Structure 1
Amino acid sequence: MPQDLNIREACKDDLPALVAMFAADALGGHGDTTEPEAFPDYVRAFAVIEASPDQALYVAERGGEVVGTFQTMVTTSLTGRGSSAMIIDAVQTRADMRGQGVGGLMIEFAIAEAKSRGFGRVALTSNAVRKDAHRFYERLGFKPSHLGFKMALK
């Protein structure tokens, strides 16, 4: 596990590194790109996340370089007697840093944050093709409990 890893909330200056990491992900299928004309879309999304009291975007950095990222969102539901849960999303470790404990430390950080806020549950989803990620999450104690669906609207 990397001892020199720093996890902190992302700032606008991190966007180029984050966009590059997402654009390099061949499995994601999100259409991320480093093309300059797309950058304002990322700036707008960052502003929404930054302004929301229920969302946070984090980066993991090592030696001053962004090597990973994840986002958390809080959702409250009437089910579970009005319980709140943390959703962990957009977990990404830079390709050259995979297998070095970065992802595990990011998830541990998110879980600790959820516990400190009194949430009884954390949840995440993972693309169905990411079999290695599924094994990783299960090693960390996550259980596959639900089947997810989505619909593209554009």
Structure 2
Amino acid sequence: MQTLHRQLSPHSPELEDGVACATFQTMPDDPRMQVLVAECSGLLGTVTLAIVPNLTQGARPCARIENVVTRANIRGQWVGTALMRAAVTHAQAQGVYKVMLITGRTAPEVHRRYRGPGFQADATAYRLRPGSPSLERQKTAP
């Protein structure tokens, strides 16, 4: 699975096999996490779905899709779309009020693939990553 995820994020720090396995093994133990996998004579793609408890919307949870990745040599053959649709179906069965997917990718074909299962680019996302200027340093004087 690490080989596949390296195709998604080649600049991410490489994980030792033990760390990757230990992390992956915690995911099925968490009922709010689902890792959906497409296989046919080997791993074709994966998507991670996180169900997040929520104190608004009648306490209905929301869902977040992460790490949508399809093996490079079969991209464009609907594997990723099928995985995303399966993730949305699972999320809906959990009673979520929305499913979110945030991408930093700018390639038009990536955005077309996300619109295929019905996602709409209708929000603004903000991220703060380690190594970025902290919020404390960004405070302005009153």
- Quickly name the TM-score band, shorter chain normalised: 0.7 to 0.9
Partner of 2:30: 52
Matches within 5 A, 1:78-117: 78-117=55-94
1:23 aligns to what? 6
SS of residue paired to 2:77 = coil
Cα pair distance change 1:44/1:30, threshold 3 Å: farther
Does 2:110 match 1:129?
no
Post-superposition CA distance 1:69-124 (Å, at most 9, x none): 01110012212222212211111000011111101111111121122222232111
CA drift of 1:32 comes to 4.8
Selected match of 1:138 from 91, 108, 115? 115
Check the 8 A contact 2:81/2:116 in 1, yes or no: no
Residue of 6, 12, 20 corresponding to 1:42:
20
Aligned mates of 2:100, 2:36 — CA distance in 1: 17
- RMSD, aligned α-carbons: 1.9
Q: How many residues align?
A: 131
Q: TM-score, normalised by structure 1?
A: 0.75
Identity among equivalent positions (%) equals: 23
Would the aligned equivalents of 1:69 and 1:90 in 2 still touch at CA under 8 Å?
A: yes
Query: 1:145, CA displacement in angstroms?
Result: 2.1
Distance 1:131 1:38, change over 3 A: farther
> Are 2:57 and 2:97, in contact at CA under 8 Å, matched by a contact in 1?
no
* TM-score normalised to structure 2 length: 0.80
Q: In structure 1, what is the Cα distance between the partners aligned to 2:48 and 2:6?
A: 17
User: Cα offset for 1:143?
Assistant: 1.0
Question: Structure 1 residues 82 and 110, CA, compared in 2 at 3 Å: closer, same or farther?
Answer: same
Query: Which aligned runs of 4 or more in structure 1 are off by greater than 3 angstroms?
Result: none
Unaligned 5+ segments in structure 1 are 1-17
Within 2, Cα distance between the matches of 1:23 and 1:91?
Answer: 12
Distance in 1, matches of 2:93 and 2:60, equals 15
